Structure 1
Amino acid sequence: MAGGERDPGSRVWTVPNVLSMLRIALVPVFLAFIVAGEYLGALIVLVTASLTDLADGYLARRLNQVTRLGQLLDPAADRLYIFATLIGLAWREFVPWWIVVVIVGRDVLLAVLGVVLANHGYGPLPVHTLGKVATFALFFGLPVIMLGAAFPELSAVSLPLGWALTLWGAFLYWWAGAIYALETFRVIRSDRHSVGLRSDTLD
C-alpha cells in the first residue's frame, strides 16, 4: 500500500476489536455469577456486554475499522454468551439440559459444515438473515428467563415470555442450520460438477 499503510482489514488493535475482546473476557465472570446464583450481577455483565456489542459495530463502521479479526470476534462473543447463559441456567435448573443440547448441537453442525467446506477449498458461508434473527431471539429470550430468576416477582411474566423467545430462537436456529447445510451441499455438488467438466475437457 502507498505510504506503508496497513490494510485496515488486517489490523488487530482497533477500538472495536478491543471492545469485542473485553466482551469475551467478561464471559467467565458472567458464568461465575450465574452458577453462584448472583443473577443481578450476571444481568449487569450481560447489559454491559450488549452495550459494547452495539458500540463496537457502530465504531467499526464510523471509524472505518472493520477488520477480519473483528468479524470473527463479534459472532464468537455472541455464541459464548448464549452458551454461558444456557449452561448457567441449566446448572441452576431454570432450563432443562435438552435445550442446551439442541442449541449447542446446531453449532456443532455448523462446525462440521465448515470443515467440509474447508476441505473443498471454501471459506465459511455468509451469515444468513434467519441466523441473525435466531441469535437475536436467543440473546433476548435467555436473559428474560434469567430476569425472572433475579426478580421472582417478575417471573409470572418473564418466564413465559423468555421461554417463548428461546424456543422460537431455537427453532429458527435449526432452520438456519438446515439452510446452511443445503447451501454447503449445493456448493460441493457444484464443485464436483466443475471437476467433472474439467476432466471431460482434459480427456
Structure 2
Amino acid sequence: MTTYTSLPNLITLARLCLVPIVIAMISAGRWTEACLIFIAAGISDAIDGWLAKTFNLQTELGAYLDPLADKALLISIYVALAVFGAVPSWLTILVVARDVMIIGAFMISWLMNKPVAIHPLWISKANTTAQIGFAAAVLGAKAFQFTLGPLFLVCTLAVAALTLASLAAYLAGWARHMSL
C-alpha cells in the first residue's frame, strides 16, 4: 500500500466532515436532513471501498482513515439518537464500549511494541452494516413519521448481538496475538 492521497481517501474525508453536520441536524430536530445526510455518508462508505478495491487505490492512510470515519459517524449517531430517546441508551453504551475496547486493545499492543495488524473481520463488516442500517431506519422513521413497530425490537437485538459477536472476535484475536 502507498501513502498518497487518493479519491477514496477524499471521499472518506468528506464523510468525516458530514459527521458534525448530521449531528447538528438531529440536534435541531431536522430529521429529514439528518436522514438524508446520514444515508449519503453510508453510501459514500460503500463507494470509497469499492473504488479502492476495484481500481487498486488502497492506501495506508485509507486503512486508518476509513474505520476512523465509520467510528466517528456511528458513535456520534448512536449517542445523538440515544440523547433524543430514539434508541435505547444501553444499545448506545454497547456500541461505544465495543469501539473503546477494541481501540484500547490495539493501543496496548502498540505501546507494548507488539502492534496488531488491522484487518476488518467479516463479523465486523456485518456489524457495521447492521448499525448503519438500523440508524438509517430510525432516522427514516423520525424523518418521515412512521413507526418501525416490532421491527424496532428485532433490529435493536440484532445490532446488540452483532456488536457483542464482533467485540468477542476482535478480543479473541487480540488475546491470541498477545499470548494471553
Q: For residue 69 of structure 2, what is the aligned residue in structure 1? A: 77
Q: For residue 194 of structure 1, what is the aligned residue in structure 2? A: none
Q: C-alpha separation between the residues in 2 aligned to 1:55 and 1:182?
A: 30
Query: Structure 1 runs of 4+ off > 3 angstroms?
Result: none
Q: For residue 128 of structure 1, what is the aligned residue in structure 2? A: 121
* CA deviation after TM superposition for structure 1 residue 69, in Å: 0.9
- 1:168 paired with 2:161, answer no
Residues 53-72 of structure 1 deviation map (CA, whole Å, 9 limit, x = unaligned): 22212221233211011111
Residues 77-120 of structure 1 deviation map (CA, whole Å, 9 limit, x = unaligned): 22222112112211211123222111101111101211222114
SS of aligned partner of 1:9: coil
**Could you tell me whether the CA contact under 8 Å between 1:31 and 1:84 is conserved in 2?**
yes
Q: C-alpha separation between the residues in 1 aligned to 2:4 and 2:118?
A: 23
What code does the residue aligned with 1:85 have? I
What code does the residue aligned with 1:171 have? A
Judging by fraction of residues, say which structure has more helix: 1
Q: How does the TM-score come out when normalised to structure 2?
A: 0.90
* CA deviation after TM superposition for structure 1 residue 22, in Å: 0.4
Q: For residue 87 of structure 1, what is the aligned residue in structure 2? A: 79
* CA deviation after TM superposition for structure 1 residue 35, in Å: 1.2
Q: From the superposition, tell whether residues 88 and 142 of structure 1 become closer, same or farther in structure 2 (CA, over 3 Å).
A: same
Q: C-alpha separation between the residues in 1 aligned to 2:29 and 2:46?
A: 27
Q: C-alpha separation between the residues in 2 aligned to 1:17 and 1:29?
A: 19
Task: State the Cα RMSD in Å.
Answer: 1.8
SS of aligned partner of 1:10: coil
* Alignment partner of 1:104 out of 96, 99, 106: 96
Larger RCO: 1 or 2 (CA < 8 Å, sep 6+) = 2
Q: C-alpha separation between the residues in 1 aligned to 2:160 and 2:51?
A: 30
Q: For residue 167 of structure 2, what is the aligned residue in structure 1? A: 177
Structure ID, larger Rg: 1
**Could you tell me whether the CA contact under 8 Å between 1:24 and 1:77 is conserved in 2?**
yes
**Runs of 5+ unmatched residues, structure 2:** none
What code does the residue aligned with 2:138 have? I
- 1:26 paired with 2:25, answer no
- 1:52 paired with 2:44, answer yes
* CA deviation after TM superposition for structure 1 residue 159, in Å: 4.8
Q: For residue 178 of structure 2, what is the aligned residue in structure 1? A: 188
SS of aligned partner of 1:41: helix
**Runs of 5+ unmatched residues, structure 1:** 1-7, 191-203
* CA deviation after TM superposition for structure 1 residue 50, in Å: 2.0
* CA deviation after TM superposition for structure 1 residue 142, in Å: 1.6
Q: C-alpha separation between the residues in 1 aligned to 2:119 and 2:57?
A: 20
What code does the residue aligned with 2:17 have? A
Q: For residue 139 of structure 2, what is the aligned residue in structure 1? A: 146
Q: How does 1:4-43 map to 2 (within 5 A)?
A: 9-12=2-5, 14-43=6-35
Q: For residue 116 of structure 1, what is the aligned residue in structure 2? A: 108
